[in-house]
Amino acid sequence: MSEQKPELKELRAELGRVNDLLADARAREVAATLAKFREDVALLGITEQEVRRALGYDRAARLPAKYYDPVTGNKWSGKGKRPRWLLGKRLEDYAIDAPQPRAWWPGDE
């Protein structure tokens, strides 16, 4: 006996049904995942900025430089491991002087 293979029309109909089942299952799982995510975000007080950074859409803001080498242009914020260009050197010699806030009033120049 030879086995009769389904025709193209039948296979396409079956594929359509499977695609519909896949779309429905995906929609249910997405909804459940997003509901759990909303719940966790609210519970932990996670901010939109934290979510965007975790997903890679935003980069963390860099700290302002506290030290600068005018010869090479290297900068360092003072956080983390001391960079090689500052090893064996006095930090005070490379400190960036922070601008002092000035009093301002309309009309003063």
66: nearest Cα among 86, 51, 46, 38: 86
Confidence of residue 49 (pLDDT cuts 50, 70, 90): confident
CA–CA gap between residue 17 and residue 76 (Å, rounded): 60
Which DSSP string do the residues of 28-65 spell out, in sequence order? HHHHHHHHHHHHHHHHHT--HHHHHHHTTSSPPPPPPP
Percent share of the chain, pLDDT over 70? 87
Domain spans of the chain, in order of start: 8-54, 62-99
Tokens representing residue 45 in the block: 């007080």
Question: How much is the pLDDT for 99?
Answer: 56
94 neighbors 68 (Cβ within 8 angstroms): yes
CA–CA gap between residue 61 and residue 28 (Å, rounded): 36
The sign of the CA dihedral 20, 21, 22, 24 is positive
pLDDT tens per residue across span 4-18: 888 999 999 999 999
- How much is the average pLDDT of 76-103? 84
62 neighbors 53 (Cβ within 8 angstroms): no
Q: Which residue has the tokens 């006996």?
A: 1
Question: How much is the pLDDT for 109?
Answer: 54
